[in-house]
């Protein structure tokens, strides 16, 4: 059973500094006892010893790293946009991202470390505590549902997750709809909500080609300007969700670096 069905009423989550995941979970479980005909209250906790008792070497190493606020950024234009905002907010030094192939940059003055990673991987680095905060598209958050805190809508990188196909497309509920996409979870959830059976076809590039070659009836993909769709004689048939860049944080790191992170949120928000 999930924690929500096991526990009733008050729930607790415990964190340790430099440990990415919760080390304690628990709370009241009155309903569980009542289901066993026990007329009393109960409370209990689970402690994850492997996470709680790190070796001295690991702890010392993490303590050194913890001096820095570690930030995961998606490679490309979005990373440059974030750095520009940080520079304008006096959160980092000028020319922090050097024009080379480095993927890790350190700002010693402001005690910041920036990691350039694949856009779809940012939330993974944050969830596992390698990065304290990160910038990731809302579409990625909705699709993968990582265990991170969403702190701020950055109001750039705006796009929509949409169903696209030929203009004369007619939906048929009497057969499974063939849908090409890399957003399987959101696609499945949307079509389930309208009672449409689907056959999902996983593609990760040039998805617009799928309807042209008869591989799929429609596609579900991120649309920014719609130019690529138009050039391939396709159009948006239905918008499923809206997306923009979001600032997210690791659950544990936020509790121990809250002052630093709130300062970042405050100054970044002033630039939006």
* Same domain as 226, residue 189: yes
Look up residue 176 and give its DSSP letter.
P
Q: What is the per-residue pLDDT for 242? A: 97
Residue 168 is assigned to a structural domain of this protein: yes
56 confidence band (pLDDT: 50, 70, 90): very low
Whether 261 and 144 have beta carbons less than 8 Å apart is answered as no
- Say which residue the tokens 């702890």 belong to: 59
Query: In this predicted structure, what is the pLDDT of residue 64?
Result: 46
Give a yes or no: residue 61 inside a domain.
no
Answer yes or no: do 83 and 137 share one domain: yes
What confidence tens digit (pLDDT) does each residue in 205-235 have?
A: 899 999 999 999 999 999 999 999 999 999 9
DSSP type of residue 207: T
Let me know if residue 60 belongs to a domain.
no
Domain membership of residue 19 (yes or no) is yes
One domain, residues 40 and 118: no
Q: Do 146 and 249 fall within a single domain?
A: yes
What residues make up the domain containing 36? Answer: 3-55
Upper half-sphere CA count for residue 88 (Cβ side, 13 Å): 13
In this structure, the answer to whether residues 79 and 112 fall within a common structural domain is yes
pLDDT of 1 over the 50 cut: no
Q: How many domains does the chain have?
A: 3
Residue 79 lies in a domain: yes
Looking at the structure, tell me whether residues 45 and 107 fall in a common domain.
no
Q: What is the pTM of this model?
A: 0.76
Same domain, residue pair 254 and 149: yes
Domain containing residue 172: CATH number: 3.40.190.10
Residue 26 clears pLDDT 50, i.e. is over it: yes
**pLDDT (tens digit, 9 = 90+) per residue, 168-190?**
999 999 999 999 999 999 999 99
Does residue 249 register a pLDDT over 70? yes
Residue 157 to residue 4: CA distance in whole angstroms: 35
Same-domain status, 187 and 223: yes
Residue 166, in any domain of the structure = yes
Give me the pLDDT at residue 101, please: 77
Is residue 62 in some structural domain?
no
- Point out the domain boundary residue: 55, 79, 97: 55
Evaluate if residue 156 carries a pLDDT over 90.
yes
Cα four-point dihedral sign 148, 192, 3, 40: positive
Same domain, 108 and 230: no
C-alpha 46/C-alpha 26 separation (Å) is: 6
Do both 97 and 73 map to the same domain?
yes
Q: 266 with 148, same domain?
A: yes
* Residue 234, in any domain of the structure: yes
Domain check: are 238 and 164 in the same one? yes
């Amino acid at each position: 059973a999930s924690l929500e069905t096991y526990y009733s009423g008050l729930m607790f989550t415990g964190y340790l500094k430099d440990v990415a995941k919760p080390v304690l979970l628990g709370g009241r479980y009155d309903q569980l006892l009542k289901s066993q005909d026990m007329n009393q209250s109960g409370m209990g906790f689970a402690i994850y010893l492997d996470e709680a008792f790190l070796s001295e070497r690991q702890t010392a190493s993490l303590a050194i790293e913890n001096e820095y606020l570690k930030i995961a950024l998606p490679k490309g234009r979005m990373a440059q946009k974030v750095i520009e905002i940080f520079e304008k907010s006096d959160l980092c030094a000028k020319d922090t991202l050097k024009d080379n192939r480095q993927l890790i940059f350190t700002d010693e003055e402001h005690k910041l470390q920036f990691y350039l990673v694949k856009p779809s991987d940012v939330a993974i680095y944050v969830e596992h505590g390698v990065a304290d905060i990160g910038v990731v598209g809302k579409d990625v958050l909705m699709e993968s549902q990582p265990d991170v805190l969403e702190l701020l809508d950055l109001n750039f990188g705006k796009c929509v997750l949409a169903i696209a196909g030929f203009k004369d497309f007619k939906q048929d509920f009497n057969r499974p709809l063939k849908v090409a996409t890399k957003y399987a979870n959101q696609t499945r959830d949307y079509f389930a909500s309208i009672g449409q059976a689907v056959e999902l076809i996983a593609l990760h590039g040039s998805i617009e080609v799928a309807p042209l070659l008869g591989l799929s009836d429609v596609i579900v993909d991120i649309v920014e300007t719609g130019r690529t769709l138009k050039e391939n004689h396709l159009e948006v048939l239905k918008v499923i969700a809206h997306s923009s860049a979001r600032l997210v944080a690791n659950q544990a790191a936020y509790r121990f670096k809250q002052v630093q992170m709130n300062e970042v949120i405050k100054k970044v928000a002033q630039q939006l």
